[in-house]
Amino acid sequence: MTDGQPPPERLAEVSRLANQLAERVLSDHMAERPIPDGHIHALAKASQLLAEYGQEVSSLLAPIMDQIRARTAGEGEARERADGTQDEQ
């Protein structure tokens, strides 16, 4: 009977794949190529899963998640400004 925790080899595979995807996202970001939302969601879920089970999260994920938060905040502010401008017209 298991304790509900995934086998260590499965968590290691999640970590390996998350690291590969993080490298790809970082490369795309640096080349100013668009990053699919699915990649961002996958990294966030993998990071959360690994942290939940006490596994090390790739050091690449922290700066990527920071950049995503900054981009998202900037997009939200731009939308608010556009909405405010439209209301005034």
- What is the pLDDT tens value at each position of the chain, 89 positions in all? 357 788 889 999 999 999 999 999 989 988 989 989 899 889 989 988 998 998 888 788 778 777 777 777 777 777 788 887 654 44
The reported pLDDT for the residue numbered 1 is 36
pLDDT score at 4: 78
Distance between CA atoms of 62 and 68, rounded to whole angstroms?
A: 10
Q: 39 Cβ partners below 8 Å, 6+ apart?
A: 21, 24, 25
Quick one: how many helices (H) and strands (E) in the chain? 3, 0
